[in-house]
Structure 1
């Protein structure tokens, strides 16, 4: 199975898109994930919606709003309240991981490969087949 990140932006519209993707694909949701990191001494988080592959496809999409939310353990923002509301609405939990920031990688594709490795190692997504 192929896992591929699909990057959304950092703004409200991008977060709304991710939330709507979750609502319209409830039967395909594999996991909702919060990736915590620190950027310029500021705790930030990415939100990742992982979906099961579409039938008969073999690609597991990972929709990500990259480092666009202030970490809720530092300060809960309206963006995080929208995510919490979604979790309550769909009765799912949000899983959390601490990861390196994306700017430590020379290319975004390398960062996404790193994240896929971390997710596989923690058994959040299945291994490459």
Structure 2
């Protein structure tokens, strides 16, 4: 199975695209995540929606708005409230994970590999086949 992050942006207006993807394909949504981190002294959050794998090609997309939203536990904000509404619409709980910032890694792809490893280790994603 191919599991890949598809970055929609930094989470400003991209949250609306994430909302559209999740609500238009409710039956494909497998999990919803909020990845919390500290970047340059600021508490930031990435929002992600994991879809069920495609039947043809066995591809599992993970749509993400990376580190553009203030951590809602530190600074409540409308974008996270919208994300909570998305979760309610698709009847999923938001799974919150604290992780290293993407800037800790030399490349964004290494960051995404790290997240995939965390998700597999915690059984949120299927293991490598």
* Category of TM-score, reference length = shorter chain: over 0.9
Compute the RMSD of aligned alpha carbons.
Answer: 1.0
- Separation in 1 of the partners of 2:88 and 2:8? 23
Q: Which runs of 5+ in 2 are unaligned?
A: none
Deviations 1:27-76 (A, max 9, x none): 01110000000011111100111001122231110001000110111011
1:46 corresponding residue in structure 2: 46
The equivalences for 1:28-47 within 5 A come to: 28-47=28-47
| SS in structure 2 of the partner of residue 12 of structure 1 | coil
Deviations 1:73-105 (A, max 9, x none): 101101011111112222211001010000011
- Separation in 1 of the partners of 2:116 and 2:90? 25
**Structure 1 residue 101 corresponds to structure 2 residue 105:** no
**Structure 1 residue 110 corresponds to structure 2 residue 110:** yes
1:20 corresponding residue in structure 2: 20
Q: Which runs of 5+ in 1 are unaligned?
A: none
Count of aligned residue pairs for this structure pair: 129
Q: Which moved more, 1:110-119 or 1:86-95?
A: 86-95
2:80 corresponding residue in structure 1: 80
